[in-house]
Chain A
Amino acid sequence: MPFRLERRAEPATAMVALSPLIAVALTIVTMAALFAALGKDPLAALQVYFIVPLTDTYSLQEIAVKASPLVMIAVGLSLCYRANVWNIGAEGQLLIGAMAGSWLAVATHGTNTGPWLLPAMLLLGAAAGALYALIPALCKIRFGASEILISLMLVYVAEFALDYLVRGPWRDPAGFNFPTTAEFDAAATMPLLIAGSRLHAGVILGVLLVIGAAVLLGRTLKGFEIRVVGAAPRAAQFAGFDADRLTLTTFAISGALAGLAGIIEVAGPIGHLQPGISPGYGFTAIIVAFLGRLDPLAILAAGLFLALTFIGGEQAQIALKIPQDMAKVIQGVLLFYVLACDSLILYRVRRTAAHRKAA
């Protein structure tokens, strides 16, 4: 290897804080180059991507709707990642939560239930997500299994379970065998904040959860424990913090939030259970968590920014015929720059002596 990374003694504080902004700026420059390569006016394209969606209320609402599950899941994941345990299976926990909550909606379909139905669905969704996330956590502390692999593989298990339910027992009897449940009753759907839009109460819940997580991390002993266990496991041991219990706690919280996000999506924008309820929210949320540097408030901003790339990408497809894959390229480029900036701020690149001789 001609180059190696060397840890900087003292990374510049200003740079550490600015890192995500630098990453965003570099992403925008890269995009402009890509747009130009596609033969589009880069300024016009950037404007459609990042400015136009912010100028009308419809797009702003849609950004909030899109960001809500991403932020909710990412906040939960950030607690795990801070504690240095790796829940990669939020997508599966989301699906399990969606299924558990939908069970109530399907079971009570067509009956006149009270206002308890929706809160019960949300609670059930969160509880199921938490329990599902505890499987990899328990395997890790009991058998030393890799929580990364197990949580990831459980995503596929959840997908098949969902497939089974909507193709089999929960299939809409009037639906010609198509794999979907009947549309949920009004009592089983999220109330809308603005009639005629898709802005639902889950968005507010998402903001409240961000505040809750910020308080938990910054102001409570548990939050301190999470940070210490993650940053200095030996010090945490001496302080008497139980790393195993913390693994269980953070996995349960992140699972609960993913499950909640799942049932909110189903009871909100979708309105029924079907395969493909999530376009990979559980995985995109990992980008959001890191873009937000595992800080709840920054995650809120990161989630909104990523949602903006989705909405803007769609509008660019309509207005400028820019291929949809561009939005995915942007998200990939963004994650690349975030990781690169962080690495280069914490480390410096050195040419190795051996290489110098050879040259």
Chain B
Amino acid sequence: MHKAMMAAALMLAAGCAGATSAAAQDKPAKLKIGFVYIGSVGDFGWTYQHDQARKAIVKEFGDKVETTFLENVSEGPDAERSIEQLARAGNKLIFTTSFGYMDSTIKVAKKYPDVKFEHVTGYKREPNVATYSGRFYEGRTIQGTIAAKMSKKGVIGYIGSVPVPEVISGINASLLAAQKINPAIKIKIVWVNSWFNPGKEADAAKALLDQGADVIMQNTDSAAAMQIANERGALAFAQDSDMIKFGPKAQLTGTISNWTPYYLARVRAVLDGSWASADTWAGLKDKMILMAPYTNMPEDVKKLAADTEAGITDGSIKPFACPIVDQEGKEVECKGGDHLDDSQVLGMNFYVKGIDDKIPGK
């Protein structure tokens, strides 16, 4: 039995080796592009949006590219192997689409200098590792404006994922915008310490509604909170992708991460040889983030939201316009002239005045 199995195995191996080498000779070299996903392509949130961009690449470049993705790759010891497997399989451009892949991406990049890497939301770069992220706080400014207009009780419920600067700046931007409409507005925050955990997200939404919130914002990836809000007659904002299917009566709008323009540009750069490591941080202006249609709100709020969106896009509205006062009542240094500069937003680790909470671990 053993011998027979070995023989079969060898035959299979030989057959496959023959097939692949023949295929390699026939076709012109395609650019192989790999993607590492933290969730599944069907999460209707973060990973779904990255996969939409992958599909756009296939549509745009057709035969010139071949894409492969690995989904549900955990950020622990498996990440480095997954990335390296893609590099070994001949992928010359690899998108690693979660912050937690940062060190693994850097490690593999050092081993494969001829492979180009694109890492989302990270801050470590190499000559062959570029980073990119969206200015998600711009969307929060619009959401905060709408929330303050729509909340009858004056309480916003906020589902926090992980207290990193991106999320802290989102909370601050929301409240700063909301305070302009209603200076007495309150924001209640529940941390679920995860980017994607539908069960916990649903529990958090229920807890926030029970505590008197009537508009839910979330920095987590699933549509669970949207569904709860819809069931309980509350309002909510979508995260990463349009969740209107899950909350036809609840969804006000949502910040959609739109990676397609960036991904197309980066693939084009590799194809024409102009790719270089860079740090890209783009927002509404570059369409890296988009707003879902404004729904379930009266016309005047719709108009206010659209005006805010236009203002951020043309630069006349600055989400972090000075003066900004922190929780202790101290005015924050204004490094960008009339607004906080990018480094202050990227490293944001304080709450603005009016948030009745403490940053976890601080």
Give A contacts to B, CB under 8 Å.
Answer: 43-44, 46-47, 51-52, 55, 58, 62, 65-66, 163-164, 167-168, 171, 176-179, 183, 196, 198, 265, 268-272, 274-279, 310-311, 314-315, 317-319, 321, 323-325
Contacts and interface: CB of A to CB of B under 8 A. Distances in A.
Nearest to A327: B72
A164 B361 contact: yes
Given A177-B164, A270-B76, A270-B77, A314 B82 contact: yes
B347 A177 contact: yes
Contact of B76 (A176, A276, A324): A276
Given A164-B361, A176-B347, A269-B80, A324 B162 contact: no
A278 B76 contact: yes
Contacts of B362: 168
Given A177-B165, A314-B85, A324-B70, A279 B12 contact: no
A276 B81 contact: no
26 contacts: A43-B12, A47-B9, A47-B13, A66-B81, A167-B193, A168-B362, A176-B123, A176-B165, A177-B165, A177-B347, A178-B164, A198-B80, A198-B81, A269-B80, A276-B75, A276-B76, A278-B76, A279-B76, A279-B78, A314-B82, A315-B89, A317-B71, A318-B68, A318-B70, A318-B86, A321-B68
Task: Pick the most buried of A177, A271, A310: most chain B CB atoms within 10 A of its CB.
Answer: A177
Contacts of B103: 183, 271-272
Given A177-B347, A196-B111, A324-B72, A276 B12 contact: no
A261 B81 CA distance: 18
B88 interface: yes
A318 B70 CA distance: 7
Given A274-B76, A323-B71, 12 more contacts: A167-B193, A168-B360, A171-B361, A176-B346, A179-B164, A269-B80, A274-B100, A279-B74, A279-B78, A317-B68, A317-B71, A318-B34
Contact of A269 (B12, B34, B72, B77): B77
Interface residues of A: mostly helix, strand, loop or mixed?
helix
A44 B20 CA distance: 12
A277 B296 CA distance: 42
A311 B82 CA distance: 9
A314 B86 CA distance: 9
B13 A52 contact: yes
Contact of A167 (B69, B81, B100, B360): B360
B316 to A, nearest CB: 29
Given A47-B13, A178-B99, A318-B89, A167 B163 contact: yes
B278 to A, nearest CB: 19
B80 A168 contact: no
Interface string B59-101: 0000000001111101111101110011011000000000110
Given A176-B347, A270-B76, A274-B100, A314 B81 contact: yes
B110 to A, nearest CB: 10
Given A183-B103, A196-B111, A276-B100, A176 B12 contact: no
Interface in B310-358: 346-347, 349
Contacts of B89: 315, 318-319
Closest 7 CB pairs of A and B: A168-B361, A167-B361, A269-B77, A47-B12, A279-B74, A318-B89, A51-B9
B163 A47 contact: no
Interface residues of B: mostly helix, strand, loop or mixed?
mixed
Contacts of A275: 193
A261 B159 CA distance: 34
B16 interface: yes
Contacts of A277: 76-77
A325 B71 CA distance: 9
A99 to B, nearest CB: 14
B321 to A, nearest CB: 23
B168 interface: yes
A43 B81 CA distance: 25
B13 A55 contact: yes
B345 to A, nearest CB: 11
Nearest to A167: B361
B15 to A, nearest CB: 8
A171 B359 CA distance: 14
B164 to A, nearest CB: 5
B77 A318 contact: no
B52 to A, nearest CB: 17
Contacts of B168: 177
A42 B145 CA distance: 55
B196 to A, nearest CB: 12
Task: Pick the most buried of A268, A317, A319: most chain B CB atoms within 10 A of its CB.
Answer: A317
B16 A47 contact: yes
Contacts of B40: 325
Given A171-B361, A179-B162, A196-B111, A58 B88 contact: yes
B163 A62 contact: no
Contacts of B123: 176
Contacts of A171: 361
A83 B80 CA distance: 38
B75 A274 contact: yes
Contacts of A43: 12
A265 B77 contact: yes
Contacts of B82: 314
Contacts of A311: 81
Contacts of B88: 58
Contacts of A279: 74, 76-78
Nearest to B85: A314
Contacts of B78: 279, 310
Given A177-B349, A178-B164, A272-B103, A315 B76 contact: no
B70 A317 contact: yes
